[in-house]
Each structure stands twice: as structure tokens, then as C-alpha cells.
A and B are shown apart, each in its own frame.
Chain A
Amino acid sequence: MLLLFRAVIGRDLRLAMRRQADVVAAMFFFIIVVSLFPLGVGPEPDQLRKLAPGVLWVAALLATMLSLPRLFADDYRDGTLEQLALAPQPLGVVVLAKVVAHWLIAGLPLVMLAPVLGIQFDLSNDALAVLTLSLLIGTPALSGIGAIGAALTLGVRGGGVLLSLLILPLYIPVLIFGAGAVDATVTGLGPQAHLSLLGALTLGGVFFAPWPTAAALRVALE
């Protein structure tokens, strides 16, 4: 089972390397959305500092949405998903591996970009560190929860929009605790409580989401 897990991750990473345009597009989307805010709301440092956590987190959610529709769509279209469903192991394990691969491809780059982009908002070092940490803890939940939506909208025409409508509301807790952690640091409350809750959301999202996702995939394959 571990072998299969590694095989799926390895294959997805290799495919992403051959198709770098997708990965780079989501990253640039993140950079541009975040950079538009200081230009739009003006250069007052106080205002920017207040906006920063929310802006970076919302941009991270949207950038994740950009890459989610393709999580299963390619495998579905070329028949690989059928073969994975017929492979002699639980489909949930395959989904979990694909979620991990999706996070490595789409989530981790956002985490690494965040501290650099945070400088535009005049965030303190502490706040930058917490922002990065909150994204590191929270983005796997985005991939996990998003997988459910990607599976439910598989093969649906205009699935991308439907996916956003389904999934963005489910991202609200992640957004609240993620942005809240940075706010709490700025106001001096300490981010531990928010980060713990974020960690709980991620554990729940990553380890429970694969099973409903697998069920949705089986329905899509019927």
C-alpha cells in the first residue's frame, strides 16, 4: 500500500514537471492577486498590515481553486481513473496520495511565496513567520476538502464554477483560523489557539476527505 502511495505521488509530480505551465500559472495568479491590493487600497502601512492576513489567505484559496478542477479530470478523461478504480487496493489510498501530490504541487509553492509577498504589506517578522506557518498548516486542508468537490464535479459541464460554489464555503473555517492566527500575533494574543484549530482542520480534512472523494469518483465512473 505504501508502494502504491509512493507510485501515485511520484507519477503526479513527474506529470506536473512535464506540464509546468499549470503550476506556474497558479503561482503567478497568487502573486498578482496579492500584489493588486496594495495598489488598489493605497500605501498606508497601518491599513495594509490589517488587510494582509485576509488578502493572502483569500488569494491562497483562489489559487488553490484554480488547480483543483484538474485534480481528477485528466485521469478521468484518459481512462487512468478507471484503471485506478480497478486496481487491487482501496481507492481512498489513491485519493490520499493524489491529495498529498496536489499539496506539494499547488500548496507548498504558495507557502514559500507568502513571506516574500507579505513584505509588501509591511508585516513584522513575527507576523510573517506566523503567516507562513498558518499557510503551511492550513493549505493541506484546502487540497483535502477540495478533492471532494473535484470528484463531485467530475465530468460535469462548467464544473469549474460549480466547484468554486461547492468548495469555497467549506473553506471558511480554514480562512477564519488561518487569517485569525496572524491577526492574533499582530494584536499580541499569540497564535497558538488558532494554529491548533487549523491543525485539527487539516488532520480532519486530509484523512477523512479521501473516503467521500473515493465514493464520489466511483459514482462518476458508473
Chain B
Amino acid sequence: MLEASNLECLRGERRLFSGVDFRLDSGEMLSLQGKNGSGKTSLLRMLCGLTPPANGEVRWRDQSITTLGDEFHRELCYLGHHNAIKEELTPLENIVSSARLAQEKLDEQAALEALACVGLLGREELACRYLSQGQKRRVALARLVHEKRALWILDEPYVALDASAVELVATLVGEHLRRGGLAVITTHQPVRVSAERVRELWLDTDDAAPAPF
């Protein structure tokens, strides 16, 4: 379903990676590994269509994502380094307003359930600037609970999370894969996802043999 062929990323004069190929089918997860600065985030942004690749192509359901455009975006859930939440708004307002901006139907009850799932019930009326980093990340993760999209692209989802939240994300990803979804994840921690097939992709600038995980 998601296919990348011969992707190349240039940052200024430097080539971060080239010739990246992979294919991901329904129910599969790609775990993207690599050192700091090896281009993991750049690759994820290419897969989303935010950054055009210097070379190569990303295809979704056998069509280029640039020609698919909005059709592809409707099936994509991207969680970047930034949480995309507003400090001035409460977690509840954040979830409801970002769902509206993403054109997802979400009523208040469903939003509260999503917040309960990420363990923020009782904080839903508190402005997000009073929340800790981990709690803010949990607000961002609530999207994974209520949005039903086929492709998840998660950039370091575990940053700032405590052990129970890490467990929660792994469970959510596992459920998502069992429903037939796809996920592309970068992380420096082992992902304990009970998926049938977890593929690994190493991005290495110096082409050294990847150290065993």
C-alpha cells in the first residue's frame, strides 16, 4: 500500500540518504532506525508529502502521493516532533479544534473518551500551558485514539512519555495494525508491538553495518 522507491534526501550540500526503498502492506509496521541526524524525520516528512524528495517517489495504493493529494491526506495521521497543540486552549478544546481543522467529526463525548484513554481525564479544563511535557504529548496522542486513519506516521512518539504512556502507545499501534492499518515509526526505544510483521529500516550515512538492535 505504501511504497517508497529510490528516495533521496539532500540537505544543503549534504546527502542524508539515497536509494531508500521499501514496501509496506496492510497490517505492517516500519520501524525506522538511525543515528541522530541520519534523516529519519526528513524521511517521514517525505512520506507525508511535506518535503518533496530530491529523487524518487512515494506511492500510496499504487499512485504517487503528489497526484493523490487530499485523497492521501484523508488517510494519513502524522504526529511530528511538535505536538500541534495550543498552550492557551484546554486539552478538550485542543482535541475538538484540531479534529475540526482536520475535518474529522468529533463530538464532545468522543473527545472526552479519547482524553480518558490517554489518561488526562480531570485535566480537560486546564489550559495546556499548565501541563507537563509528557501530558502535552498525551494530548497530541489523543488523535491516535479518535481518528480512524489508515496510515500512521509517528515521529518519536515516546518523547517525554512515562512508562505507562509508552505502553499505551504500543497498545494503540498494535490495535491499529490488527485493524489492517499501517504505521511508520521512528524511535530510539524498542517498540514492543505485537504485530505480525515489523520491518526495520536503517538509515546510515556512513553505510556501516547496522548494529544489532
Decide whether A and B assemble into one complex. Answer: yes
Bound-state CA distance A203–B50 (Å) is 30
A interface residues, how many (CB within 8 angstroms): 26
The binding surface of chain A is classed by DSSP as: helix
Assuming A86-B76, A86-B78, is B103 touching A3 (CB within 8 A)?
yes
Bound-state CA distance A18–B89 (Å) is 8
B29 to A: closest C-beta gap in Å: 20
B135 to A: closest C-beta gap in Å: 15
Which one of A46-54, A74-82, A166-174 is at the interface?
A74-82
Cross-chain contact B101 with A4 (CB below 8 angstroms): yes
Q: Provide the A49-67 mask, 1 if CB < 8 A to any CB of B, else 0.
A: 0000000000000000000
Assuming A79-B82, A221-B50, is B101 touching A87 (CB within 8 A)?
yes
Among A83, A94, A221: residue with most chain B CB under 10 A: A83
List the count of A-B residue pairs having beta carbons below 8 Å apart: 78
Residues of B within 8 A of A87 (CB): 73, 101-103
Cβ-based interface call for B93 (8 A) = yes
B10 to A: closest C-beta gap in Å: 11
Bound-state CA distance A83–B83 (Å) is 10
A175 to B: closest C-beta gap in Å: 34
Cross-chain contact A82 with B78 (CB below 8 angstroms): yes
Bound-state CA distance A94–B84 (Å) is 16
Cross-chain contact B83 with A89 (CB below 8 angstroms): no
Residues of A within 8 A of B103 (CB): 3-4, 87-89
Cross-chain contact A78 with B89 (CB below 8 angstroms): no
Assuming A88-B70, A89-B70, A222-B52, is B101 touching A83 (CB within 8 A)?
yes
Q: Provide the A4-42 mask, 1 if CB < 8 A to any CB of B, else 0.
A: 100110110011001100000000000000000000000
Q: Which residue of A lies closest to B73 (CB)?
A: A88
Cβ-based interface call for A84 (8 A) = yes
Cβ-based interface call for B85 (8 A) = yes
Cβ-based interface call for A184 (8 A) = no
Q: Provide the B98-115 mask, 1 if CB < 8 A to any CB of A, else 0.
A: 101111000000000000
Residues of A within 8 A of B88 (CB): 15, 18-19
Cβ-based interface call for A104 (8 A) = no
Bound-state CA distance A80–B89 (Å) is 13
Cross-chain contact A7 with B70 (CB below 8 angstroms): no
Bound-state CA distance A3–B102 (Å) is 11
Bound-state CA distance A118–B171 (Å) is 64
Q: Provide the B194-205 mask, 1 if CB < 8 A to any CB of A, else 0.
A: 000000000000
Assuming A83-B101, A87-B102, A89-B70, is B84 touching A78 (CB within 8 A)?
yes
B interface list, Cβ under 8 A from A: 48-52, 70-71, 73-74, 76, 78, 80-89, 93, 97-98, 100-103, 127
Give 10 closest A-B pairs by Cβ, nearest first.
A79-B82, A18-B88, A7-B100, A79-B84, A88-B70, A88-B74, A88-B73, A80-B84, A83-B84, A11-B97
5 A-B pairs within 8 Å (CB atoms) are namely: A15-B89, A78-B87, A80-B84, A80-B101, A222-B51
